[in-house]
Amino acid sequence: MHPRNLLRPAVATTTALSLALAAAPARADARDGDHDRRGGRDSAISLSLLGRFATGAVGTGASEITAYDAATRRVFVVNAQDGTIDVLDIRDPRAPRKVTSLAASGANSVAVRDGLVAVARQAESKTAPGTVTLFQARTGQKLKDFTVGALPDMLAFTPDGRRIVVANEGEPASYCQGAADDPEGSVSVIDLRRGVVRTAGFGAFDGQADRLRAAGVRISGPGASVARDLEPEYVTIEGGTAWVTLQENNAVAIVDLDRAKVERIVPLGLKDWGAAGIDASDKDGKIDIRPRPGLKGLYMPDAIAHFRARGRTYLVTANEGDGRDWPCHADEARVKSLTLSAAAFPDAARLKKDEELGRLNVLTDSPKDASGAYTELHALGGRSISVRSESGALVWDSGDELERLIARELPAEFNADNEKNGSFDSRSDNKGPEPEGVAVGEVGGRTYAFAGLERVGGVVAYDLSDPRRPVLAGYLNTRDFAGSVEAGTAGDVGPEGVLFVPAADSPTHRPLLVVGHEVSGTTAVYEIR
């Protein structure tokens, strides 16, 4: 690929907003009580918990990704603990009821369309080719298997229902044997009418690692080719185009589905933490969100969705961040363990203190000078939600608004972990609230994005009516911080998959969110008003 086809990195300059929400964490209802100067009260929505299904398994991934079949009023949930897809009847969403399970060992993702359930399943050895299995939604009958790439991590039907697009992450088992244990990432395109699988691979980009790095794409696996290093994570589709996040690479692949070909790899750029604030320490005993000059972040989105506004297509990403920690290779280190360039960081001694940047985990492949001293520090994730154009250019980023939201609404649980309660500030050194899942839907004639915050929990909503100036519209957290995560008495913990159900398909005739919580093993159904 010629360098001109690679978009240049974009830098976020968005500042924090000051919208206050009136919701309390112990309530199963969230409302916006303030008037925002841009969107007014019209932007506010209410989220309320209708019902919950609990598997009883905690910390085992017993409730992850969810999919919904409007015809049967059933929710299909990835249960990694049991190696099944749990089928929940939500005709009464106040009392979700498990009716059956589909055998699907190695399940990572599930999608439903036109009476078909598609499940992405990794092989017993995750570096071997994976499988997409089709079931009939109404009866659960297994219909067919398709062989796809290594570690199929997410899949989605195209809008016309004729194809399934699969993000094959191709994650390594280790780096101890170099590239030997690192399969190529790829995107499989399954033509359901013809029963044919075509693969959009990244082999055409091999040999272009230097050009890609210069453009801002992160290629970092030791000894890995470009095709082995790129790791597809999540897919959103419009017409014949798929946008696929390459999380560890801080990039998005744009795929032509008709040709099953990767057209472009788009770098997502760096976030300037000197413009937006960040709490970078878990050992200072306080909330301390402030700009950190010299620190930058890689957005590294997990989930991606898209929407239309003013005749244009926009992308929404949840900028979680993800490093690599495999046998014989780890790419994160605390700032205080690094040698900092005196020219770039004249106040290095102060910065390396625990209450400053010393505790913060950054990427070890951040830029260095000829002596090996770091000239820049790159943190993992944007701790934010972003809106981008269909070509990948940054349109808007939420800056430090998510951390400020949690500081305001849950000050005693700020940047808490999802492994246990009473963990105030414990994630400040490592990706903060970690927005992971994101979904887009229309409520009352407005388009909203809904994102799950993996660590502290809860779902945040943004009004996307003006893609360049989204408005924070609501936040609901149904985690019980007085309970015990380990004992399964802490409500909904660790939101993973976020699914929007439009009013026309909902059993309540109001829009719903269905959220799988991988830590608590619960599937929660929320109503939106």
SS (H, E, C) 14-80: CCCCCCCCCCCCCCCEECCCCCCCCCCHHHCCCEEEEEEEECCCCCCCCCCCEEEECCCCEEEEEEC
Rounded distance between C-alpha atoms, residue 382 and residue 435, angstroms: 9
Which residue is associated with the tokens 């660590």?
A: 455
Helix (H, G, I), strand (E, B) or coil at 404: helix
The predicted structure's pLDDT at residue 112 = 98
* 245-249-250-254 Cα dihedral, nearest 10 degrees: -40
pLDDT of residue 181: 84
Count the Cβ atoms, other than its own, within 10 Å of residue 434. Answer: 27
Q: Express each pLDDT in 280-303 by its tens digit.
A: 999 999 999 999 999 999 999 999
Cα–Cα dist 33/464, whole Å: 19
- The β-bridge partners of 76 are 67, 87
Q: What is the pLDDT of residue 439?
A: 98
Say how far apart CA 459 and CA 456 lie, in whole Å.
10
Instruction: Tell me the average confidence (pLDDT) per consecutive run of 10 residues in the chain, 529 residues long.
Output: 31 29 35 40 88 97 97 98 97 98 98 97 97 98 98 98 98 82 96 98 97 97 94 98 98 98 98 97 97 96 97 98 93 98 97 98 97 98 98 98 98 98 98 98 97 98 98 98 98 98 98 98 98
Q: Are 73 and 91 in contact (CB under 8 A)?
A: yes
Question: Residue 213 belongs to what H/E stretch?
Answer: helix 209-215
Q: How far apart are CA 248 and CA 169, in angstroms?
A: 10
Structure tokens at 285: 């005993």
Backbone angles phi, psi at 103, to 5 degrees: -70, 120
Residues 6+ apart with CB under 8 A from 352: 335, 336, 340, 358
pLDDT for 175 = 86
Each as own residue / partner, the long-range contacts of residues 179-183 (CB below 8 Å, 24 or more positions apart, any chain) are 179/221, 179/223, 179/224, 179/225, 179/228, 181/127, 182/127, 182/221, 182/224, 182/228, 182/229, 183/127, 183/128, 183/149, 183/150, 183/151, 183/228
The CATH classification of domain 3-528, taken from the options 2.130.10.10, 3.40.50.300, 3.40.50.10860, 3.40.50.1360:
2.130.10.10
Q: Tell me what pLDDT residue 177 has.
A: 75
At a CB cut-off of 8 Å and minimum separation 6, what does 278 contact?
A: 289, 290, 291, 292, 295, 297, 379, 383, 400, 403, 432
Question: How far is residue 43's CA from residue 446's CA, in Å, rounded to a whole number?
Answer: 8
Positive or negative, the CA dihedral 87, 92, 96, 100 is negative
The reported pLDDT for the residue numbered 179 is: 64
CA-to-CA separations, 241 to 72, 144, 391, in angstroms, rounded: 29, 25, 11
Report residue 504: phi and psi, to 5°.
Answer: -65, -25
The dihedrals phi and psi of 263, each to the nearest 5 degrees, come to -85, -45
**Residue 165 in tokens:** 């697009």
Q: Which residue has the tokens 């500081």?
A: 407
Q: What is the rounded distance in angstroms from the CA atom of residue 368 to the CA atom of residue 79?
A: 43
The answer to whether 316 and 454 are in contact (CB under 8 A) is no
Strands 196-201 and 232-238: unpaired
Predicted local distance difference test score (pLDDT) of residue 43:
82
Give phi and psi for 505, each to the nearest 5: -105, 0
Secondary structure class of 249 (helix, strand, coil): helix
439 Cβ contact partners less than 8 Å away, ≥ 6 residues apart: 303, 305, 449, 450, 498, 499, 500, 513
